[in-house]
Structure 1
Amino acid sequence: MSANPYESERLLAEYLLFHYGSPEEILPAGAPAGMRDALDFAVRTTRHFSLGGVDRTLDLGCAVGRSTYELSRDSAETLGIDFSSSFVRAAAAIADGPQAYQRLDEAHRRTELLARLPAGSHFKGVFFETGDAMDLRADLGDFDRVHAANLLCRLTEPRKLLERLPTLVRPGGELVLATPCTWLGEFTPPENWPAGSTLEWLKEALGADFELIKVADEPFLIRETARKFQWTSSMVTTWRRRLTSAAADAPASLP
């Protein structure tokens, strides 16, 4: 892609609402239960990690940061990385106080809203930076937890990230990948799509270094206008980094 489609003011506002909006700000009157069940996706995906505190956590494709802040509840240091500089600026700014944005209702009609962290939140050790998930800086180090929600099928070369993951997740650490498997040529060239199912593709790519712990589905809802919503189901896979790779454990072949 020649330009980043996530730098527009409209998408920034959509994602601020998606991450921080209240049910009253997102849902239409009389919304069916399924719409309400799809709220708080950026929070729900973080709950697929095991309970307990850790040292370092990485949130790849963090967007405007709600998942990063949630992950920091159980992590001494949490780093959020996103390709969109406007998303990263918004994510960092919310730590300093509520941030104003405009929700699109229809045509020229907009509603002023505030994106804010949950009341009573005391987040610490949270950092944000702009970065490319396919070309992360070499000195990131490793992490106890790596979270990447709705990122893989928006990368031009997703295998580059999959190949980097074993160096990012510490042995015994956990990885949570969420993807709606909506492979589109405008983001990922068809030759880089999985040949079969996304789940089998992930097992093939990660199986030597990670043990698959759980597969689940998490719906999510993005409000575009007062009468238009995206309802999607994301496949969430939870993995544990092997203490040694499966390839290293395999018996040597006979001459």
Structure 2
Amino acid sequence: MATISGIDHKYIAIPMVAMSLGLSAYAAYRLHRSAHVVSESDSDVYESTKYLSEYLVFHYGTPEEVIPYPFGPKDAIDFPKRCAELCLKHMQPKEGIYTRALDIGCSVGRSTFELARVVNEVIGIDYSQSFIDAAKSLCLNGQMPYSLVQEGDIFSQAVAKVPKDIDRTRVTFEQGDACALRSSLGAFDLLLASNVLCRLHHPKHFLSRLQQLLPKPDSILVLIGPYVWLDQFTDKSLWLGGYIDANGEAVTGFKGLLKELGPHFELVEQMEMPFLIRETARQYQWTVSHATVWRRR
């Protein structure tokens, strides 16, 4: 872990992925509490108003709202939008063909909405009921007011807005567990799971379901994550990576993905994706996720 000097290390840390790699509980964009000391239980931490506010600005905040300074990691802004753009770069639907996409760990929905620019039907699923309630409100009304933490008990008012040129009728949201998705979801042409994998109680169980969700050849799978494995979310015996095996070899999250997905999916691209979580006007979390794009064999 690398830390930012001048900030209480109990409250912020910067997870860095092993350089050898070249470098999403259950919901997208949930790894950020991994270095925090919190009083809430892991299942409740994402239900609070404070964290809902953090994710609304993470998804919908303007550059000025996220970083109100002339300096800072500007390339880490708009992460959910960039996730969707990576998906759409590889998914090129043919004229007249109805397409479906699934956003697992959708949080408050920005990537889900962005996918609807091209995809006919997009379903966003998240473990957090409060996140799903917010996403549904945005889907219905196109915008949602919220309080933006400045310092302590000082807040400013902000409004999350879905871009007006997106057809929100193409999007639906539902609460669900990535490891126990309903059987009636059907088949998809594209699946995005961002910052989810290392927060699942059984990552391999989720990966095994992908063959059913993406049965058609050339379907696109996009997995994005920082591989921050913690036993508070996943029993160590079920970690996909982040451990030393019986032969003394380091098994990374990326190696785990190659092993699990290789027989059924072809790796077509991988890249670094930084993102920034704004906690207050002066406190942030900067993380680098490893993005992998796969095509169904």
What TM-score comes out, normalization by structure 2 length?
0.78
Which residue matches 1:13? Answer: 53
Residue 47 of structure 1: CA displacement?
1.8
Which residue matches 2:149? Answer: 104
Q: Which moved more, 1:221-230 or 1:95-104?
A: 95-104
Which residue matches 1:22? Answer: 62
Which residue matches 1:204? Answer: 259
CA contact (8 A) 2:116 2:166 kept: no
Residue 85 of structure 1: CA displacement?
0.8
Which residue matches 2:129? Answer: 85
What TM-score comes out, normalization by structure 1 length?
0.90
C-alpha separation in 2, matches of 1:80 and 1:37: 25
Instruction: Identify unmatched segments of 5+ residues in structure 2.
Output: 1-40, 244-250
Q: Any idea what the Cα deviations from partners look like across 1:42-79, whole Å, max 9, x if unmatched?
A: 01111223153351100000000000000111111100
Instruction: Identify unmatched segments of 5+ residues in structure 1.
Output: 243-255
Q: Secondary structure in 1 aligned to 2:146?
A: strand
CA contact (8 A) 2:113 2:166 kept: no
C-alpha separation in 2, matches of 1:81 and 1:153: 17
C-alpha separation in 2, matches of 1:13 and 1:163: 33
Q: Any idea what the Cα deviations from partners look like across 1:74-104, whole Å, max 9, x if unmatched?
A: 1111000000111011011112132111111
Residue 122 (structure 1) aligned with residue 167 (structure 2): yes
Determine what percentage of the aligned residue pairs are the same residue: 43
| Distance change in 2, residues 1:235/1:57 (3 Å) | same
Residue 217 (structure 1) aligned with residue 269 (structure 2): no
Q: Which moved more, 1:173-182 or 1:96-105?
A: 96-105
Residue 241 (structure 1) aligned with residue 281 (structure 2): no
C-alpha separation in 1, matches of 2:205 and 2:108: 23
C-alpha separation in 1, matches of 2:164 and 2:188: 28
- Partner residue of 1:113 out of 155, 158, 162: 158
Q: How many residue pairs align between the two structures? A: 240
C-alpha separation in 2, matches of 1:123 and 1:52: 20
Residue 154 (structure 1) aligned with residue 192 (structure 2): no
